[in-house]
Amino acid sequence: MISFTSFDDFIEEARMFHGSASPGLMIGASMVELALHSMGRTKNYHALCETERDLPDAVQLLTPCTTGNGRLHVLSLGRFAMTLFRLQNGKGVRIYLDLGKTAGWPHIRRWALQNMEGGEKEQIRLEHEIRKAGISILSATSVQMRTVFMHEAALGPMSACISCGEPHPASTGQLCRACAGQSPYVPYLPAAPLFNSGRSSL
Ligand SMILES: [Zn+2]
């Protein structure tokens, strides 16, 4: 979490952290600001993003919630929305990009519907609209989180996988999830020799 004195400060930090100050990240900053304001004075909250796109980085830059500390949950719902909620009672506030409020902001609307034509001029106009619109394109609703989100993720007993030998949650069985078929990697093949050390066959 980083403290910013201005929006331009945030843009600069966003460029270093995220690679660019993307429109989603800029709108995300306003969403986090509105959510924090709506939550009042509390530090003990978690965040949930309904898309992997941009929003998780806005949350990680502007709140103490990160994926690594378990306080940021990311769901692939495809909606440009985020929620801050209290862990004790699951009460929270959900902020979403409200299409009904984008009528006066044509570039933001086109961006939201992924209907951009592309080009530098359009990007500049979009950034200008985002800065001017601020939180006016957002809406907030109260939400009650499901119980499953109201517990800190705890590590249970671990055991060595009988295939790879690496520690993994014992509750998943003798094989770790990767060895049980969920590995993201293609199966390992023994490396072929790079060159013949013997005589040439030519
Ligand atoms: Zn394994």
35, 84 in Cβ contact below 8 A?
yes
The CA 69 to ligand 1 mean position distance, Å, reads 24
The CA 66 to ligand 1 mean position distance, Å, reads 27
pLDDT at 192 over 80: no
- Tell me which long-range contacts 190-195 makes (C-beta under 8 A, separation of at least 24): none
The CA 144 to ligand 1 mean position distance, Å, reads 38
DSSP 71: -
Strand residues in 81-200 grouped as ranges (E)? 81-86, 91-97, 138-144, 158-160, 167-169
60 and 130 in a single domain? The answer is: yes
Letter string b/e over residues 46-84, b meaning 16 or more CB atoms within 10 A of that residue's CB: bbbbbbebbbbbbbbbbbebeeeeebbbbeeeeebbbbb
Instruction: Using DSSP bridges, classify how beta strands 45-49 and 81-86 pair: parallel, antiparallel or unpaired.
Output: antiparallel
73 and 159 in a single domain? The answer is: no
**Residue 58, in any domain of the structure:** yes
43 and 98 in a single domain? The answer is: yes
User: What is the arithmetic mean of pLDDT over 8-12?
Assistant: 83
The residue written with tokens 């909606």 in the block is: 79
The CA 166 to ligand 1 mean position distance, Å, reads 6
Domain of 72, CATH number, reads 3.30.1330.130
The CA 171 to ligand 1 mean position distance, Å, reads 13
Comparing 66 with 118, the larger pLDDT belongs to 66
83 and 163 in a single domain? The answer is: no
Which pLDDT band, with edges at 50, 70 and 90, does 65 fall under?
A: very high
58 and 122 in a single domain? The answer is: yes
Cα distance between residue 89 and residue 102, in whole Å: 33
**Residue 168, in any domain of the structure:** yes
38 and 114 in a single domain? The answer is: yes
Which pLDDT band, with edges at 50, 70 and 90, does 201 fall under?
A: very low
The CA 179 to ligand 1 mean position distance, Å, reads 4
Which pLDDT band, with edges at 50, 70 and 90, does 94 fall under?
A: very high
